[in-house]
């Protein structure tokens, strides 16, 4: 069943193109490893097992990594009430609701499809936002679920994860594994070179898609709730509070930036924005201001 979140053909096209390109890259990566390691069975079995594990258990992995736990209505009645209202408004199945005991104000959605999805908010977010702002953030996350881009990012990120692990393994085994014959050293160097190239290409493709999907989720949430100014207020508030959290506390969360409502970064990106998982705060607020004008709402951050 389709939800009432406004469809985004451009997002669908971008997801399709990204997955197609990553699929080609994945095939080339596996072929290169087979030629280098001369064991197609080992490479294919290991790659397929890891992809399957990431796809089927992505929600559990994400919740565990970000200290989230599933909560029932009795524990967080107001949170469940907001999710229930938005799901009814969007005509979509209700995802599992979770809370992460993190001071960093943030939220994320994960899961392989809308029927196996999880929406999680941190306790830091719940303490900081007004009801209308929280509604905007949750609508943003639910739009990720409805548009299925959560599953796409999960699958798309797989190749980069595997390539990154191989780079680390090859680096440490090559430098600290003792003396090796020339053939083994050459194979390790080749594997590392291929993995670095694959990681770099997948890194750029995923981030380009991630930046657009965040703008698409902001737009869908604003149109569903009819209050883009509340979402703009939440963005401004959360981004400002994250900037005040010590950098050392943000580093552990940065590996999951592609899933977060706002990135765990201490400052707005400069030239490095081409490597960012999210658009800048200015881009997101300006888009919401345009939507607010179209809807006839006073685009004043903080109004809710």
Instruction: Give the tens place of pLDDT for each residue, 147-203.
Output: 988 878 777 766 666 666 666 665 665 544 555 566 766 766 776 777 777 778 877
Confidence of residue 249 (pLDDT cuts 50, 70, 90): low
Question: Cβ neighbours of residue 217 under 8 Å, at least 6 residues apart?
Answer: 140, 141, 143, 144, 147, 149
| Helical pair 182-225 and 281-295, crossing angle rounded to 10 deg | 30
Q: How high does pLDDT run on average in the chain?
A: 80
Does the annotation list 116 as a binding residue?
A: no
The enclosing domain of 77 has a CATH number of: 3.30.2010.10
Has residue 122 got a pLDDT over 80?
A: yes
CA R_g for the chain: 21
Q: Tell me what pLDDT residue 115 has.
A: 84
Beta strands (DSSP E) in the chain are 68-70, 96-100, 107-111, 117-122
Does the annotation list 75 as a binding residue?
A: no
Has residue 272 got a pLDDT over 70?
A: no
Window from 28-32, 113-117, 296-300 with minimum mean pLDDT = 296-300
**CA–CA separation, 229 and 137 (whole Å):** 12
Show the domain range for 81. Answer: 9-209
Count the neighbouring beta carbons within 10 Å of the beta carbon of residue 186: 12
pLDDT digits (tens, 9 = 90+) for 41-57: 777 787 777 777 777 77
Window from 72-81, 149-158, 268-277 with minimum mean pLDDT = 268-277
Q: Report yes or no on 220 lying in a domain.
A: no
Q: Tell me what pLDDT residue 60 has.
A: 79
Window from 104-113, 199-208, 216-225 with minimum mean pLDDT = 199-208
Q: Report yes or no on 18 lying in a domain.
A: yes
DSSP designation for 102: -
Q: Report yes or no on 153 lying in a domain.
A: yes
Q: Tell me what pLDDT residue 48 has.
A: 78
Q: Tell me what pLDDT residue 26 has.
A: 76
Has residue 14 got a pLDDT over 80?
A: yes
Q: Report yes or no on 241 lying in a domain.
A: no
Q: Where in the sequence numbering do the catalytic residues fall?
A: 141
Q: Report yes or no on 69 lying in a domain.
A: yes
Q: Report yes or no on 88 lying in a domain.
A: yes
Q: Tell me what pLDDT residue 267 has.
A: 58
Q: Report yes or no on 230 lying in a domain.
A: no
Q: Report yes or no on 219 lying in a domain.
A: no
Report in angstroms the alpha-carbon separations of 17 from 13, 14, 151.
6, 5, 15
**How many domains does one find in the chain?**
1
Does the annotation list 80 as a binding residue?
A: no
């Amino acid at each position: 069943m389709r939800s009432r979140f406004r469809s985004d053909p451009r997002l669908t096209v971008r997801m399709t193109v990204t997955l197609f390109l990553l699929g080609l890259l994945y095939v080339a990566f596996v072929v290169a490893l087979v030629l280098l390691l001369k064991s197609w069975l080992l490479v294919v079995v290991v790659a397929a097992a890891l992809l399957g594990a990431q796809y089927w258990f992505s929600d559990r992995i994400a919740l565990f990594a970000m200290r989230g736990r599933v909560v029932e209505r009795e524990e967080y009645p107001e949170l469940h009430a907001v999710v229930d209202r938005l799901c009814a408004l969007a005509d979509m199945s209700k995802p599992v609701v979770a809370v992460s005991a993190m001071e960093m104000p943030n939220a994320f959605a994960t899961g392989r499809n809308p029927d196996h999805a999880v929406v999680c908010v941190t306790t830091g977010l719940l303490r900081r936002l007004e009801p209308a702002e929280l509604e905007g953030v949750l609508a943003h996350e639910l739009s990720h679920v409805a548009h299925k881009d959560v599953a796409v990012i999960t699958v798309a990120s797989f190749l980069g994860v595997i390539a990154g692990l191989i780079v680390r393994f090859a680096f440490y085994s090559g430098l600290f594994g003792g003396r090796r014959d020339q053939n083994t050293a050459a194979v390790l160097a080749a594997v590392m070179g291929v993995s670095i190239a694959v990681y770099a290409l997948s890194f750029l493709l995923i981030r380009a898609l991630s930046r657009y999907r965040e703008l698409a989720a902001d737009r869908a949430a604003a149109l569903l709730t009819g209050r883009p100014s509340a979402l703009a207020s939440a963005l401004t508030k959360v981004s400002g509070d994250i900037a005040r959290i010590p950098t050392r506390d943000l580093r552990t969360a940065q590996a999951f930036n592609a899933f977060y409502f706002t990135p765990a970064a201490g400052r707005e990106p400069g030239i490095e924005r081409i490597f960012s998982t999210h658009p800048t705060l200015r881009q997101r607020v300006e888009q919401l201001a345009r939507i607010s004008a179209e809807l006839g709402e006073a685009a004043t951050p903080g109004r809710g």
